[in-house]
């Protein structure tokens, strides 16, 4: 299959790209982004790599019940030891932590993982948006929402729902599936070919 010649690591993608595309750290700054579905790691890893390459600290906020598979991140060129992990008991606490982090104006990328079963006031998300714009930071929410379910909140500016097609030899085509993009519309598409990680989730 000719498309397999595109197989590369996240670090190689970040080096040659496409950073001016709609799925790049610079394009996500000042916005609330949702990556829905059960397998968002492959599309988030290049953002983390990009932030680290630009010397912008990355924070991952989680309940602590589950976390990314470190080997996957390492194989994507990410410095796992440099990711700041924040454990929060609930969505409200996660949002408060994100607000404090944004107020410090010290972080380029904040990822909030798997709090979608709880609700957060629109006012809090509005504050996160404004602080993200002031701090020039990207806010990415990982959720388990099905593609046909509503987004986390109406203030979500960009939502993608990645799906994967196994093409054999532990290789996958990732289709980004744009559900909503308030800034650029839903006209853009994106696909990547990845080597399947040991802990693909």
pLDDT in tens, 157-184: 999 999 888 887 778 888 888 999 998 8
pLDDT at residue 19 is higher than 50 = no
- The residue that leads in pLDDT, 11 or 76, is 76
pLDDT, averaged across the chain: 83
Mean pLDDT, to the nearest integer, of 172-199?
78
Mean pLDDT, to the nearest integer, of 7-11?
51
- The residue that leads in pLDDT, 192 or 23, is 23
Strands (E), 29-75: 32-35, 58-62
Strands (E), the chain: 32-35, 58-62, 84-87, 109-113, 138-142, 158-160, 163-168, 171-175, 178-181, 191-195
7 DSSP 8-state letter: -
Q: Indicate the pTM of the whole model.
A: 0.83
What is the per-residue pLDDT for 140? 96
What is the per-residue pLDDT for 197? 55
What is the per-residue pLDDT for 94? 93
pLDDT at residue 7 is higher than 60 = no
Percent above pLDDT 70 for the chain: 85
**Range of lowest pLDDT (12-26, 62-76, 100-114, 132-146):** 12-26
- 82 token code pair: 């440099």
What is the per-residue pLDDT for 144? 86
pLDDT band at 99 (very low <50, low <70, confident <90, very high): very high
Each residue's pLDDT tens digit, 41-79: 888 999 999 999 999 999 999 977 778 878 878 888 899
Q: Where do the domains of the chain lie, and which CATH numbers do they carry?
A: 2-195 (3.40.50.300)
As to burial, measured by CB atoms within 10 angstroms (0-12 exposed, 13-18 middle, 19+ buried), residue 120 is buried
- 177 token code pair: 């599936």
pLDDT band at 199 (very low <50, low <70, confident <90, very high): very low
């Amino acid at each position: 299959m000719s498309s397999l010649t595109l197989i590369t690591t996240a670090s190689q993608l970040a080096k040659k790209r496409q950073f001016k595309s709609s799925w790049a750290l610079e394009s996500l700054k000042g916005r609330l982004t949702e990556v829905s579905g059960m397998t968002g790691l492959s599309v988030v890893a290049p953002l983390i790599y990009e932030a680290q390459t630009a010397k912008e600290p990355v924070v991952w906020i989680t309940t602590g019940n589950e976390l990314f598979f470190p080997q996957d991140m390492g194989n994507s060129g990410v410095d796992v030891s440099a990711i700041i992990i924040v454990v929060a008991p609930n969505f409200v606490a996660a949002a408060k932590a994100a607000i404090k982090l944004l107020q410090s104006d010290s972080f380029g990328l904040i990822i909030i993982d798997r709090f979608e079963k709880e609700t957060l006031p629109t006012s809090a998300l509005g504050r996160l948006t404004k602080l993200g714009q002031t701090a020039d930071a990207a806010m990415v929410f990982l959720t388990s929402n099905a593609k046909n379910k509503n987004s986390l909140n109406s203030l979500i500016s960009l939502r993608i729902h990645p799906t994967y097609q196994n093409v054999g030899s532990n290789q996958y085509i990732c289709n980004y599936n744009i559900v909503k993009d308030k800034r650029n519309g839903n006209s853009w598409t994106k696909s990547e070919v990845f080597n399947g990680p040991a802990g693909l989730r």
